[in-house]
Amino acid sequence: SQQGEEDPQALSIQEGENATMNCSYKTSINNLQWYRQNSGRGLVHLILIRSNEREKHSGRLRVTLDTSKKSSSLLITASRAADTASYFCATANSGGSNYKLTFGKGTLLTVNP
Amino acid sequence: NAGVTQTPKFQVLKTGQSMTLQCAQDMNHEYMSWYRQDPGMGLRLIHYSVGAGITDQGEVPNGYNVSRSTTEDFPLRLLSAAPSQTSVYFCASGRGQGSYEQYFGPGTRLTVT
């Protein structure tokens, strides 16, 4: 069963704008990760946030985690056409292995030049 | 480093045939896993391994076998292919030792007719 659910399912923006994607999950987690998938390719790890963290930054990426609401958001600032991809959140559930990830269905981001 | 490699890239099977999808990594990672991705879905974990000689089931293990005799290789065997196993299969590896990000291969697109 899917643990994470991303919202929106699809997002289309202009280059230079910010993109925000949300992820909700159902059970307690150890960590939450975001991955990017370009069309026809494998997934690429973007950022990991642990359950005791509230916010992390990596370059143009900002991730927040609200464990009380069981939700996370991924913000991409100053988007570029090369950011066009699907973005997935993945959770490692509490009490389980940190390596057993449960993925959401993803948000398809299109950045128009 | 080649990273995570998967062969073949594409495969067509008839119902009832068996085959092995190959996965290898040259990063000396402890953790390896197999996922399947169906259209419009996130990834679902099939089997995973936390080290040579150790494997465990994921969310959708039925119809698949794995073994891990070396650190580098983690083949996935389809015992008797069914149309429901038509999917894109991704292998991933992770360093372990407290590092939970996973590195994905390029995928194998399997069609069962």
For residue A46 the two structure tokens come to: 């973007």
Q: How far is CA A104 from CA A50, A65, A91, B113, in A?
A: 17, 16, 9, 28
Size of interface A-B (CB pairs under 8 A): 62
A100 and B45 within 8 Å at the Cβ level: the answer is yes
What pLDDT is stored for residue A78 in this prediction?
98
Q: A80 to chain B, minimum CA–CA distance in Å? A: 23
Q: Residue B86 is encoded by which pair of tokens?
A: 């038509």
Nearest CB to A104; choose among B42, B58, B105: B42
**Measured distance CA(B80)–CA(B11) in Å, rounded:** 14
Q: Choose among A2, A48, A100: nearest Cβ to B48.
A: A100
Tokens 């994905």 found at: B104
pLDDT in tens, A15-61: 999 999 999 999 999 999 999 999 989 999 999 999 999 999 999 99
pLDDT tens for B38-58 read 987 789 999 999 999 999 999
**A43 contacts in B (CB within 8 Å)?**
43, 90, 92, 102, 104
Which residue, among A18, A29, A23, has the nearest Cα to A8 in the 3D structure?
A23
